[in-house]
Amino acid sequence: MDNRYIYSLIVQNRAGVLSRIAGLLTRRGFNIETCSAAETDNPGVSLIVVVFRADEKSALQIKKQLEKQVDVFEVRELTSDSSVTREHVMVKVSANEDERINIISVAGIFRANIIDVSPKSMIIELTGNTGKIDAFIETIKPFGIIQVARAGMIGIERLGGAPLMHK
9 in helix, strand or coil? strand
The dihedral region occupied by 111, where left means phi > 0, alpha psi between -120 and 50, and beta the remainder, is left
What x/- string results for residues 30 through 69 when contact with another protein is judged by CB under 8 A? ---------------------------x--xx--xx-xx-
Residues 3-22 that bind another protein (CB under 8 A): 15-16, 19-20
DSSP letter for 153, please: P
Q: Which of 3, 39, 55, 70 binds another protein (CB under 8 A)?
A: 70
Q: Is 23 in the site for another protein (CB under 8 A)?
A: yes
Q: For residue 121, count other CB atoms closer than 10 A to its CB.
A: 20
Instruction: Kindly tell me which of 1 and 15 has the beta carbon lying closer to another protein.
Output: 15
Q: Is 166 in the site for another protein (CB under 8 A)?
A: no
Residues 120-139 that bind another protein (CB under 8 A): none
Q: How far, in Å, CA of 77 to CA of 8, rounded? A: 6
Q: Is 29 in the site for another protein (CB under 8 A)?
A: no
CB of 79 to another protein, least distance (A): 20
Instruction: Kindly tell me which of 16 and 43 has the beta carbon lying closer to another protein.
Output: 16
DSSP letter for 143, please: G
Instruction: Kindly tell me which of 16 and 119 has the beta carbon lying closer to another protein.
Output: 16
Note the residues at the interface with another protein (CB under 8 A): 15-16, 19-20, 23, 27, 57, 60-61, 64-65, 67-68, 70
